[in-house]
């Protein structure tokens, strides 16, 4: 789960114009110039490729988990000794811890501070994550990692901070992780002010956008539900769930620990699990718990706060459906509307659907649902059912309707 902090640190420097995600990594980690990429037409590897697991490196669990305490000098020698590639950089997702260690080296070189110090000062401290850090010797109330051998749990020693701390070296607890998740969710609140952290809302949202599609075969191994699309963002896994919309999160695994965090942006619900057993995998338990909680929430369906513009348009459409007026339609319709359906035919269809529900009640619209600031659906109650109404606004101003669907439905 440390990788989200690594990505955030890179974006902080990007926002200060000190890093460019699309500049070759050799600009920030000169040792990488010695690396030979075994593909003649390969592009140069960039920070964006490293952050999105698409630099072409092979999956490196569990090797990387034993490299945390490498010094910067030792890491430089590792790079210069040569690196293995499984695919042409920029063409394929493959989980790589090495890519995040290289990102940390870039962060250290550009900022002039050790990666761990930069994260502590720029992210942990502003968020008041006072129970988090990278050096186990400086933290209290630590859970001890374990590994099971011959049905006996044995203590797994901590590793010290170093060149690979960026992949999973952050020590934290549920209270502090909740602050991190809260900051992630806050970035989608249009009224939120960037005053709690060095990283902007814009960059926090960027982290939570899928950048590279994850292979279905890997998702199946993780037991993921069938009706999701999943991609890797920047240090985070981003799911588009058929039932609940966007869900974001990440797992963590280390020789003595396992963890998972995930959250649903629209409902602002998150789930965290921390375990002190080697590569414990609470991801499926967290996914099940979150889906259960979302199923209990009326607001679980993807929705956004209804804008005043959309609310006023809804009221005008309600009035138009109840009492058709060509002048109102002229004012509200985009130029495609009468081309898609002649005005008289549209009016006839709406009257037919109203008749199917036995006429409309005087009651107001109910069950509004919006998944964007330009799209809205709702129900108009009738005597024997309801009208399902859907509108979509055109992209130009002032607001004009480019789509209007009206259909009779049964209410069970």
**How confident is the model at residue 193, as a pLDDT?**
65
pLDDT beyond 70 at 217: no
- Structure confidence at residue 304 (pLDDT): 60
pLDDT bracket for residue 197 (50, 70, 90): low
Buried/exposed 42-56: b ≥16 CB within 10 Å, e otherwise: eeebbbbbbbbbbbb
pLDDT of residue 146: 98
DSSP codes joined into one string, 192-232: --S-SSSS-HHHHHHHTS--EEPPHHHHHHTT--SSEEEEE
Q: Is the confidence at residue 119, as pLDDT, over 60?
A: yes
Among 249, 255, 247, smallest CA distance to 275 is for 255
Phi, psi of 372 (to 5 degrees): -160, 175
In angstroms, how far is CA 274 from the centroid of its own chain?
A: 20
CA angle (229 as vertex; 307, 306 as ends), nearest 5: 5
Distance (Å, whole) CA 138 – CA 127: 19
Report, as an integer, the average pLDDT of 3-30.
98
Evaluate if residue 315 carries a pLDDT over 80: yes
For residue 231, pLDDT beyond 70: yes
R_g (Cα) of the chain, nearest Å = 26
Report the SS3 class of residue 181. helix
**Which pLDDT band, with edges at 50, 70 and 90, does 10 fall under?**
very high
Domain segments of the chain as ranges? 2-296, 308-409
Contact at 8 Å (CB) between 269 and 185?
Answer: no
pLDDT band with cut points at 50, 70 and 90 for residue 367: low
- Banded pLDDT at 300 (limits 50, 70, 90): very low
Average pLDDT, the chain: 93
Q: Report whether pLDDT(194) > 90.
A: no
CATH topology of domain 2-296: Beta-lactamase (3.40.710)
**CATH for 308-409 (2.160.20, 3.40.50, 1.10.3470, 3.10.450):** 3.10.450
Tell me whether residue 19 is exposed, middle or buried, using C-beta atoms within 10 angstroms of its C-beta: 0 to 12, 13 to 18, 19 or more: buried
Q: What digits encode the pLDDT tens for the residues 89-113? A: 999 999 999 999 999 999 999 999 9
Cis peptide before 62 (omega within 30 of 0): yes
């Amino acid at each position: 789960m440390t990788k989200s902090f690594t990505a955030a640190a890179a974006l902080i420097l990007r926002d200060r114009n000190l890093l460019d995600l699309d500049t070759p990594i050799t600009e920030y980690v000169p040792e990488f110039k010695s690396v030979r990429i075994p593909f003649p037409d390969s592009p140069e590897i960039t920070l964006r490729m490293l952050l999105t697991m698409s630099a072409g490196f092979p999956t490196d669990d569990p090797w990387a988990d034993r490299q945390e305490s490498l010094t910067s000098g030792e890491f430089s020698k590792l790079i210069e000794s040569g690196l293995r590639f499984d695919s042409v950089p920029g063409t394929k997702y493959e989980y790589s811890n090495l890519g995040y260690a290289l990102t940390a080296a870039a962060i250290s070189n550009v900022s002039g501070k050790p990666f761990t110090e930069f994260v502590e000062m720029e992210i942990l401290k502003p968020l008041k994550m006072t129970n988090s850090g990278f050096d186990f010797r400086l933290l209290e109330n630590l859970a001890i990692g374990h590994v099971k051998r011959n049905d006996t749990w044995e203590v797994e020693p901590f590793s010290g901070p170093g060149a690979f701390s960026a992949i999973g070296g952050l020590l934290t607890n549920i209270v502090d992780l909740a602050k991190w998740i809260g900051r992630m969710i806050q970035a989608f609140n249009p009224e939120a002010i960037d005053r709690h952290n060095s990283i902007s809302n814009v960059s926090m949202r960027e982290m939570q956008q899928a950048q590279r599609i994850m292979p279905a075969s890997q998702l199946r191994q993780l037991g993921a539900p069938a009706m999701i699309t999943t991609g890797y963002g920047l240090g985070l896994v981003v799911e588009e769930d058929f039932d609940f919309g966007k869900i974001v999160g990440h797992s963590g695994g280390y020789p003595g620990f396992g963890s998972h965090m995930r959250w649903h942006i629209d409902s602002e619900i998150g789930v965290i699990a921390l375990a002190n057993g080697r590569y414990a995998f609470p991801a499926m338990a967290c996914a099940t718990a979150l889906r259960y909680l979302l199923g209990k929430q009326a607001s679980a369906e993807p929705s956004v706060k209804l804008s005043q513009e959309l609310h006023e348009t809804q009221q005008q459409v309600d009035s138009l459906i109840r009492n058709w007026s060509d002048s109102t339609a002229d004012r509200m319709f985009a130029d495609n509307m009468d081309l898609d359906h002649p005005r008289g035919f549209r009016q006839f269809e709406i009257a037919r659907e109203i008749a199917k529900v036995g006429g409309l009640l005087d009651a107001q619209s109910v069950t509004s649902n919006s998944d964007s600031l330009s799209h809205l659906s709702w129900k108009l109650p009738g005597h024997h059912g309801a009208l399902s109404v859907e509108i979509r606004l055109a992209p130009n101003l002032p607001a004009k309707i480019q789509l209007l669907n009206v259909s009779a439905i049964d209410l069970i």
